[in-house]
A and B are shown apart, each in its own frame.
Chain A
Amino acid sequence: DAGVTQSPTHLIKTRGQQVTLRCSPKSGHDTVSWYQQALGQGPQFIFQYYEEEERQRGNFPDRFSGHQFPNYSSELNVNALLLGDSALYLCASSLGQGDNQPQHFGDGTRLSIL
């Protein structure tokens, strides 16, 4: 039973570029959340997708956008990259919107901005 998978594992970009990160949820899960984890910090919530719609959003600018596909996989897009966008980007999946359904995390994509 595959867990949450993310690609790529590492990525190096320069300021001003755009990047797309991908996530496949755990088998049977239909809800995907994205988090940003800066070095030495806890993950910060970016947004959540369910039924192909953005359901909730954290305090991140519009440069951060996403998408969920009919197979529940998801993409995170970041435009006009800044040095401060360097971080580990984590995807978490869960089942539905009901109670007691914990979020399971992938191992993340490490993004470095030069």
Chain B
Amino acid sequence: QKEVEQDPGPLSVPEGAIVSLNCTYSNSAFQYFMWYRQYSRKGPELLMYTYSSGNKEDGRFTAQVDKSSKYISLFIRDSQPSDSATYLCAMSALRSSASKIIFGSGTRLSIRP
């Protein structure tokens, strides 16, 4: 069993829709949760990070963490064609940058104009 499970998609939604991306994890030591966006032929770009259960909002993006269920989500409101990319959930056992990051396999998202 992988430490982090993520639905690979692909997921296709119309422009303006609300998108929900999810990951589950098995290692209760994970304390620091991240979402990265990766465009084709580019490196991952950090979108959001949080280290506590609950919601964190940044513009059109909301990250949600439920440690009791070992479940994290990323919501994208008013989705735009420019949001089309692969979204990677990621987590680590420490808040320190010294901690190795464990990634999900990524969900490919396509926003239809």
B98:A107 contact, CB within 8 angstroms: no
Q: Are B100 and A105 in contact (CB under 8 A)?
A: no
Tell me whether A103 and B104 are in contact in the complex, defined as CB-CB below 8 angstroms, given that A42-B88, A90-B44, A108-B43 are known contacts: no
Those of B20-67 within 8 Å (CB) of chain A: 34, 36, 41-46, 49, 51
- Is B96 within 8 A of A33, CB to CB? no
B interface footprint on A20-51 (CB within 8 Å = 1, 0 otherwise): 00000000000101000000111111001010
Q: Which residues of chain B have C-beta atoms less than 8 A from A106's C-beta?
A: 43
Interface of A is mostly: loop
Most B CB atoms within 10 A — which of A42, A58, A102?
A42
**B69 CB within 8 Å of chain A:** no
Which of A41, A55, A97, A99 is in CB contact (< 8 Å) with B105? A41
Tell me whether B96 and A101 are in contact (CB under 8 A). Answer: yes
Do the beta carbons of A95 and B97 come within 8 Å of each other? yes
Chain B neighbourhood of A45, CB < 8 A? 100-102
B interface residue numbers (CB < 8 A to A): 4, 6, 8, 34, 36, 41-46, 49, 51, 88, 90, 95-98, 100-106
In the complex, the 4 A-B pairs of residues with the closest C-beta atoms, listed nearest first:
A42-B103, A94-B97, A105-B43, A101-B97
Q: Which residues of A approach B to under 8 Å, CB–CB?
A: 4, 31, 33, 40-45, 48, 50, 55-56, 58, 90, 94-108
